[in-house]
Amino acid sequence: MKYPIRWFLGASCILSVGVGTAIALRMMYWPCGRWETESGCVASVRLQTQALGFEEDTVQVNFRSFDLSTGADTVLVGLGGVRQDSSGQNRYYAVLALFDARNGTLIREIRAIKGNVRAVWQDGDDTGARTVEIALSPDGQLAASYGMGEGENRLLVQQTSDGQIVKEFPRGDPDDENLVNNCISQLDFTADSRSLQCGSVLYDLDNRNYTSLSDSNGNYKFPRAADFHGGRYALAPDGTRFDRDGIVQPSGAQFPLESDLKVLDDVGNLAFSPNSQLVLEVRSNRYSARGFRRLIPSPFRRLSGIAVWNREAELQHLFFANQRYDEVAWSRDSEFFALLSQNLTLQTFRAPSLKEE
For residue 34, what pLDDT is reported?
A: 45
Under DSSP, is residue 325 helix (H, G, I), strand (E, B) or coil?
Answer: strand
Q: What is the pLDDT of residues 44-53, one digit of tens each?
A: 899 999 999 9
* Residue 259 or residue 37, greater confidence: 259
pTM: 0.83
Cβ atoms of 234 and 228 within 8 Å: the answer is yes
Between CA 340 and CA 347, with CA 345 as vertex, the angle to 5 degrees is 65
For residue 35, what pLDDT is reported?
A: 44
Q: Which amino acid is at 280?
A: L
For residue 266, what pLDDT is reported?
A: 53
Report the distance separating Cα 240 and Cα 101, nearest Å.
29
Cβ atoms of 224 and 197 within 8 Å: the answer is yes
Q: Give 228's contacts (C-beta < 8 A, 6+ positions apart).
A: 185, 186, 234, 235
The total number of residues shown for the chain amounts to 357
Q: Percent of the chain scored above 90 by pLDDT? A: 43
Report the distance separating Cα 249 and Cα 82, nearest Å.
45
Find the mean pLDDT for residues 213-238: 88
Q: Which amino acid is at 81?
A: G
Least confident piece of the model among 61-70, 97-106, 174-183, 241-250: 174-183
Answer yes or no: is pLDDT of 17 > 80: no
Give the containing element (helix H, strand E) for 11: helix 4-26
Q: Give 287's contacts (C-beta < 8 A, 6+ positions apart).
A: 265
Find the mean pLDDT for residues 230-245: 89
Q: What is the pLDDT of residues 164-175, one digit of tens each?
A: 999 988 664 444
Report the distance separating Cα 309 and Cα 242, nearest Å.
10
Find the mean pLDDT for residues 187-215: 90
Q: Give 12's contacts (C-beta < 8 A, 6+ positions apart).
A: none
Answer yes or no: is pLDDT of 10 > 90: no
Looking at every residue in the chain, the average pLDDT score rounds to 81
For residue 296, what pLDDT is reported?
A: 46
